[in-house]
C-alpha cells in the first residue's frame, strides 16, 4: 500500500510496534487491514473511485460505521451519498462536529451499538427493573 506522506517510526522504543508518524496511505484493496480495522493513531487513508456508487460501496465494505465525511462542492450530492452510507454520523465538508444534544451512536460493530451523545448516552448505563407486588391484604398466603 503506497505511503503518500509521513512514515513509519524507525528508531526509539516505538519502532518495534505498529506505529506511524502522521501518515497518509493510498488504499486499493478493500480487505487491507488498514481498511478493515479501526485505527487509533495519526493515520489517514484515501481511496480512488470512479463513481459515487463505488465510493459508497467501498465505504460500506467494513464492519464499522461510526462516522463518515463527504467532501464536495455539491451539497445535494453529499446528502445523497450520506443517505446510502452505513454510518451513524455523516459530516459534509468537515469532520467530527459533535453536539451533546444530538443522539449519535454507531452502526454495525462501531461503538458496540451504544450512544456517544444525547439522552440515550446516559440511559445505556441504566437498567430497568419492574416489580410486581401483592400486598398481604390482597394475598391469600
- Residue 29 belongs to domain with CATH number: 3.40.309.10
Predicted local confidence at residue 111, as pLDDT: 65
Average model confidence (pLDDT) across the chain: 81
- Whether the pTM exceeds 0.75: the reply is no
Q: Is residue 51 domain-resident?
A: yes
Tens of pLDDT, residues 47-78 = 999 999 999 999 999 988 888 999 999 999 99
Q: Is residue 138 domain-resident?
A: no
Q: Is residue 66 domain-resident?
A: yes
Number of domains in the chain: 1
Strand partners, 47: 27
Q: Is residue 117 domain-resident?
A: yes
Residue 113 has pLDDT above 60, yes or no: no
Domain span at residue 37 reads 3-123
What are the angstrom distances between the C-alpha of 100 and each of 6, 28, 82, 116? 34, 36, 21, 8
The contacts of residue 95 (CB under 8 Å, 6+ apart) are: 67, 69
What are the angstrom distances between the C-alpha of 92 and each of 65, 89, 104? 16, 10, 16
Pairing mode, strands 67-70 and 89-92: parallel
Q: Is residue 141 domain-resident?
A: no
3-state SS record for 30-76: CCCHHHHCCCCCCEEEEECCCCHHHHHHHHHCCCEECEEEECCCCHH
Q: Is residue 16 domain-resident?
A: yes
Q: Is residue 20 domain-resident?
A: yes
> If pLDDT is split at 50, 70 and 90, which confidence band does 12 have?
confident
Amino acid at each position: 500500500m503506497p505511503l503518500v506522506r509521513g512514515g513509519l517510526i524507525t528508531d526509539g522504543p516505538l519502532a518495534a510496534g505498529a506505529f506511524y508518524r502522521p501518515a497518509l496511505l493510498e488504499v486499493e484493496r478493500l480487505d487491507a487491514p488498514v481498511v478493515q480495522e479501526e485505527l487509533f493513531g495519526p493515520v489517514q487513508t484515501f481511496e480512488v473511485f470512479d463513481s459515487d456508487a463505488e465510493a459508497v460501496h467501498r465505504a460500506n465494505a467494513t464492519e464499522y460505521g461510526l462516522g463518515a465525511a463527504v467532501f464536495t462542492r455539491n451539497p445535494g450530492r453529499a446528502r445523497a451519498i450520506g443517505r446510502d452510507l452505513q454510518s451513524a454520523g455523516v459530516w459534509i465538508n468537515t469532520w467530527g462536529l459533535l453536539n451533546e444534544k444530538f443522539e449519535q451512536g454507531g452502526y454495525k460493530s462501531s461503538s458496540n451499538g451504544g450512544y456517544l451523545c444525547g439522552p440515550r448516552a446516559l440511559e445505556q448505563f441504566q437498567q430497568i427493573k419492574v416489580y410486581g407486588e401483592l400486598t398481604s391484604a390482597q394475598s391469600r398466603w
